[in-house]
Structure 1
Amino acid sequence: MLISDLTTPALLVERDVLDANLATMSAALPGPRLRPHVKAHKTTALARRQAAHGHEGFTCATVRECEVMAAAGLGADLLLANEVLDTRRLGALVADGARVTVAVDSPETIAAAAAGGVGEVLVDVNVGLQRCGCPPERAGELAAAARAAGLHVRGVMGYEGHLMLVPSPERAERTRDAMQVLLRAAADVGGEVVSAGGTGTYLDNIWATEIQAGSYALMDTAYARLGHPFGQALSVLGTVISVSPGHAVVDVGLKALGMDHGLPAIEGAEVRRCSDEHTTFVPAEPVRVGDRVRVLPAHVDPTVVLHERMHLVDGETVLETWPVDMRGW
């Protein structure tokens, strides 16, 4: 199959760029130093490629991601880096032989883990993002409560997500400050794991024992501005459906793109705006109705989840089609 045979909009992944991204990250963070976050791509075929580079532990954001990963034979060490109040489905995975660790930040989430049959936890600490995570001074108390409930406390996690897109060197300095908070909590909690980080801070964060990066594999334009050595593997293929004096329109809109990090990009063009089914752009060179255009998303995670499949391509050839099989809840 050729790219020209695909119905648009269609999610494309350049094989050579993807493979280079995986190899670059594997060299920087080998083996257990990286716990890839599957929420960025939600595709077990891609997770298998990450495992082939030596990363056998994975980070998940939803119960369904854990279930699909385990069913695909990738459940050797799954971290659900999120608070869950009904862990029965996770407990079923553990009973079937998967290793699942869940984040806890309150007595309620500790009780839920114990009741559902999840035996291992990380104490989630707020290191500045102001999302989930307990106050650092409460981490030791929660760890003691988890152990009293019969849980094994593997350590701590803390996500410095508010720093991912901060320019360097400020990003490195603020990452250090956030991780000092986490390390103080880790001293109170105990355990061997300090889990943190993401694509934005994967080199800055030298304090965590494992980094939860995910976007590096496919990349987006927001992360590309940081200058990290990862290429833009992901694009959304569209078809030019209208041409007017001064602008053109491609059939890739809000329903095919994650927009929380801003407008997408089109090489050699100025993107003006996006609506439900359309992106309006000003091309540097004339385009015609029927031309194919690759639209580069600003945020990979919410873009991928809008698509049922992604196509691994080499130039104009479609090599494989992978289901985005961790979509949904």
Structure 2
Amino acid sequence: MRVADLTTPALLVERGALEANLAAMAAALPGSRLRPHVKAHKTTALAARQAAHGHHGFTCATVREVEGMAAAGLGTDLLLANEVLDARRLGAVVDAGARVTVAIDSPETLRAAVDGGVREVLVDVNVGLPRCGIAPERAGALADAARAAGLTVRGVMGYEGHLQMLPDQAERARLTTECTDRLRAAHADVGGEVISGGGTGTHAMNTVCTEIQAGSYALMDTAYTAAGLGFRQSLTVLATVISATGPAGDMPGWAVLDAGLKAFGMDHGNPEVPGGQVWFVADEHLTFATDPLPRPGDRVRVVPAHVDPTVALHERMYLVDGDGPDAEVLDTWPVDLRGW
């Protein structure tokens, strides 16, 4: 099969760029220094590629991701870096032989871990992102309570997610140090061998965490590319030109693609059409200005602004070799960790 044979919209992953990204991150953070986050791609076949580069512990965002990774034989060391109030499905995964650790930040999530049959936890610490996480000064008390309840406390985690895409790298580094100082202080009270956190945008400057939870580096998007991280864009959405209108008066020519809001994560803005200017995105359409004007039937590879929700909108991704319409489709990977 060739790219030109695919029904659009279709999620494409260019093999050369993907492998370059995986190799670059494995060189920067070898082995257990990286705990790849599967929420970025939700695809066990891609996770297996990451494992082949030496990373055998993975980060998950949902119970469904934990279940799917374990079922795919990738359950050596799974961290659900998120709080849950019903951990019974996680306990079933543990009983089946996988190693599962869950984040806790309150007595309620601690109790859920105990009642659900999860035996290992990390204390989630608020390091500056106003999302989940206990205040650093209260982390030690929660760890003590977890141990008293019979749990193994592996250490702490904290995510400086609000810093990942700051364009000023010096400012990103300075603020990352402030966040990791809070995490280091909490770890002194909590104990354990693990300090987990970070992401693609801070992977090179977060020197406190023993493991980095990067995910977007494998596929990339326009938002992370703007942060100047050095990874290549490997994921695009293939779309077909379904209408084209030539210039008239002051109006430039424009074209319309058959991929819209239901094919792209839009929270970081419009996707990009290389060589064109995106005007707007509707339910099933993307309208962009371009010169020269394409013809109906032409194929265009569109770059998403936010990779994670874009992938989650598609049922499968196609591993391809090259950038042209005659590029070979090497494999079809189900996006098998979608849903909850």
String of CA shifts for 1:105-133, please: whole Å, max 9, x gaps: 00000000001100000000000000000
Q: Specify every segment of 5 or more residues in structure 1 that has no aligned partner in the other structure, as ranges.
A: none
| Cα deviation 1:98-156 (Å, max 9, x = unaligned) | 00000000000000000110000000000000000011111011001101110000000
Task: Work out whether residues 155 and 186 of structure 1, in 8 Å CA contact, stay in contact via their aligned partners in 2.
Answer: yes
The separation in 2 between residues aligned to 1:216 and 1:275, in whole angstroms, is 28
In structure 2, C-alpha distance between the alignment counterparts of 1:251 and 1:203, rounded to whole Å: 38
Identity, % of aligned positions: 71
* SS at structure 2 position matched to 1:266: coil
Distance, in Å, in 2 between the alignment partners of 1:221 and 1:10 is 18
1:81-109 Cα shifts (integer Å, max 9, x gaps): 00011101100111111000000000000
Q: Within the alignment, does 1:183 sit opposite 2:184 as a pair? A: yes
**Residue 164 of structure 2 aligns with which residue?**
164
Other structure's SS at 2:182 match: helix
Q: Tell me the alpha carbon deviations over residues 54-107 of structure 1, each in whole angstroms, 9 at most, x when there is no partner.
A: 000000000010001000000000000000111011001111110000000000
Match of 2:320 in 1: 313
Q: How is 1:276-287 mapped onto 2 (pairs within 5 angstroms)?
A: 276-287=283-294
Pairwise CA distance, 1:40? 0.2
What is the rounded CA distance, in whole Å, between the counterparts of 2:76 and 2:321 in structure 1?
A: 31
Q: Using structure 1 for the length normalisation, give the TM-score.
A: 0.99
Work out the CA distance in 1 between the residues paired with 2:290 and 2:71.
Answer: 45
CA distance in 1, matches of 2:316, 2:185: 43
- Per the TM alignment, residue 227 of structure 1 is displaced from its structure 2 partner at its CA by 1.5
1:154: which partner in 2? 154
* Alignment: residue pair count: 329
The alpha-carbon deviation at position 228 of structure 1 amounts to 1.2
Taking the aligned partners of 2:97 and 2:315, their CA distance within structure 1 comes to 29
Alignment check: 8 A CA contact 1:310 1:323 kept: yes
2: CA distance, partners of 1:74 / 1:57: 8
User: Residues 185-215 of structure 1: CA distance to partner in whole angstroms, max 9, x if unpaired?
Assistant: 0001010100010000010101100000000
Aligned amino acid, residue 60 of structure 2: C
1:267 to 256, 274, 285: 274
**What does 1:1-329 align with in structure 2 at a 5 Å threshold?**
1-167=1-167, 168-245=169-246, 246-315=253-322, 316-329=327-340
Matched position secondary structure for 1:285 = coil
Tell me, what secondary structure is at the counterpart of 2:209? coil
Asked whether the 8 Å contact 1:39–1:301 carries over to 2, the reply is yes
Q: Deviations over 1:275-304 (max 9, x none)?
A: 110111011322001100011000000000
Distance 1:26 1:41 in 2: 17
Query: What is the SS of the residue equivalent to 2:262?
Result: helix
CA distance in 1 between counterparts of 2:64 and 2:227 reads 31
Cα distance between partner residues in 2 of 1:244 and 1:174: 48
Q: Distance in 2 between matches of 1:285 and 1:3?
A: 22
d(CA) in 1 for partners of 2:292, 2:200: 34
TM superposition score normalised by structure 2: 0.96
The worse-fitting range, judged by mean Cα deviation, of 239-248 and 25-34 is: 239-248
RMSD: 0.6
How many angstroms apart in 1 are the aligned matches of 2:292 and 2:48? Answer: 40
Q: What are the superposed Cα offsets for residues 304-329 of structure 1, whole Å, 9 maximum, x if unpaired?
A: 00000000001211000000000011
Inter-partner Cα distance in structure 1 for 2:146 and 2:279:
52
State the one-letter code of the partner of 2:94.
Answer: V
Contact 1:24–1:229 (8 Å) recurs in 2: no
* CA distance, structure 2, for counterparts of residue 139 and residue 20 of structure 1: 39
1:300 and 1:137 map into 2 onto residues whose CA distance is: 35
Distance across 2 between alignment mates of 1:252 and 1:230? 25
The alignment partner of 1:263 has SS state of: coil
SS of the residue aligned with 1:150? Answer: coil
Are the equivalent residues in 2 in contact too, given 1:250–1:278 (CA < 8 A)?
yes
DSSP 3-state at the match of 1:256: coil
